[in-house]
Amino acid sequence: MFVEVAMVALLCGGPEAGECPHTGNKTAESSPTPSASAGSGAIGRAVQLTFGQEFVKAGESYISPDGSKVIFQAVEQPAQGQDADEHYAMYLGDLHHQNGSWRLDNVRRLTPENSANTCGWFHPTDPQKVIFASTVTEPLGGDTPGYQRGTSKYKWSYPPKMRIVEARIDGEFPPALTELEGDQDAYQAECSISPDGRHLLYTSHETGDGDIYIRDMKTGARHLVVGAPGYDGGPFFSPDGRRITYRSDRNKDNLLQVFVGELAFDENGTMVGLENEIQLTNNEHVNWAPFWHPDNARLVYATSEAGHDNYEVFEVEAAEGGGVGKPAKYGTGKRRITDVTGFDGLPAFNATGDLMIWTSQQGGDGSQLWIAPFDVPVGAKTNAECPVAH
């Protein structure tokens, strides 16, 4: 998802009081970010991971399964007198926890110069591979198709000829790219891989609309799983690989809603479609970028519920039924996770669910990456004595 905005997150204190972990320059001191559920344990103190000295904007980040790396998209600060790139590049950085704080260093570029890129993901079973969407070469000239609500600055771009590629991260940078999925002319992106590494999940515009497909990389079989009218996109597998979540504009009113789909499998274990679809939000707001918590029972998403100039992260239950006395809980238990001025969205978790990373404008540094402890116990310290062990 290309987003022409900035975003933020929260965590355990700064590298030092307000010191940039990349340059040592002083920045605005990180401070506790209030939450609508403050006192009940939502997120702890935020730490900024990327900064305006390096990036005009950064967003849509994901933590590797072992917690050691972050993949993200960003626009680098241009040389003096030069214009910033129009499109995002993909970057990989090393995530460190030391003395109660977090930092992102050894940041290196994954993508070719002048290409348009988005939607990175770590391979779940091969720690030396990442995937993302890329045009590989410079995008075609002219207006780029995309989603924009009215005259809002929030925009997702859909460059033609964008395809899903794979890269190894144990060699030289930028690495060679191998195409996994791509139509000759259309946009394929918003990709992720099932927890067992077998199925590729993504959005394609090959029909002129946004639809969600799954490719069985073992058999090569490909199936349309969500093809409702309007844009269906941003899909992710549940932690157990039995469900997916996504956002949909099936009413074609530019008000995105969050859904969960329960997957159907054939006798060979190939995902072939949905057995059931559940709508989690149904309101007059833009709800998007849903992401599962590792407990498999809830997810977080970004919403304009607090205003189109103040997107925030909310949580909602998405638990399957567990038999008698344990009914499914879909769309219940909603709580607000972030509450700061400006955009907060594109949330994601580490593998254990005790850290949330997201994009935020809270630092006055444009859209940048932030990180914070998640579900912090009431009364826990969130500074140098951060309760999260890493």
Phi, psi of 180, rounded to the nearest 5 degrees: -100, -35
Cis peptide leading into residue 174 (ω within 30°): yes
Calpha distance 275→215 (Å, rounded): 17
3-state secondary structure of 329: strand
pLDDT of residue 159: 80
CB 340 within 8 A of CB 364: no
Pairing assessment for the beta strands 69-76 and 55-63 based on DSSP bridges = antiparallel
pLDDT of residue 316: 97
pLDDT of residue 307: 87
Q: What is the pLDDT of residues 121-170, one digit of tens each?
A: 999 999 999 999 999 998 855 444 444 444 444 444 668 889 999 999 99
pLDDT of residue 161: 87
Which residues of the chain fall below pLDDT 50? 1-40, 142-156, 382-390
3-state SS, one letter per residue, for 268-302: CCCEEEEEEEEECCCCCCCEEEEEECCCCCEEEEE
The encoded tokens of residue 333 equal: 């238990």
- Residue 39, judged by CB atoms within 10 A of its CB (0-12, 13-18, 19+), counts as exposed
pLDDT of residue 152: 47
One-letter amino acid identity for 166?
E
pLDDT of residue 30: 36
**Nearest Cα to 139, choosing from 187, 78, 205?**
187
CB 150 within 8 A of CB 221: no
Q: What is the pLDDT of residues 52-89, one digit of tens each?
A: 999 999 999 999 999 999 999 999 999 999 999 999 99
CB 279 within 8 A of CB 331: yes
The encoded tokens of residue 384 equal: 């140098």
User: Which residues touch 259 (CB under 8 Å, ≥6 apart)?
Assistant: 226, 245, 246, 247, 248, 277, 278, 279, 280
Calpha distance 178→326 (Å, rounded): 45
Calpha distance 303→288 (Å, rounded): 6
CATH number of 50-291+315-336: 2.120.10
- HSE, CB side, 13 Å, CA atoms: give it for residue 244: 31
Calpha distance 3→366 (Å, rounded): 13
CB 223 within 8 A of CB 273: yes
Given the structure tokens 């700061």, which residue do they identify?
340
User: How many residues are present in the chain?
Assistant: 390
Calpha distance 168→128 (Å, rounded): 5
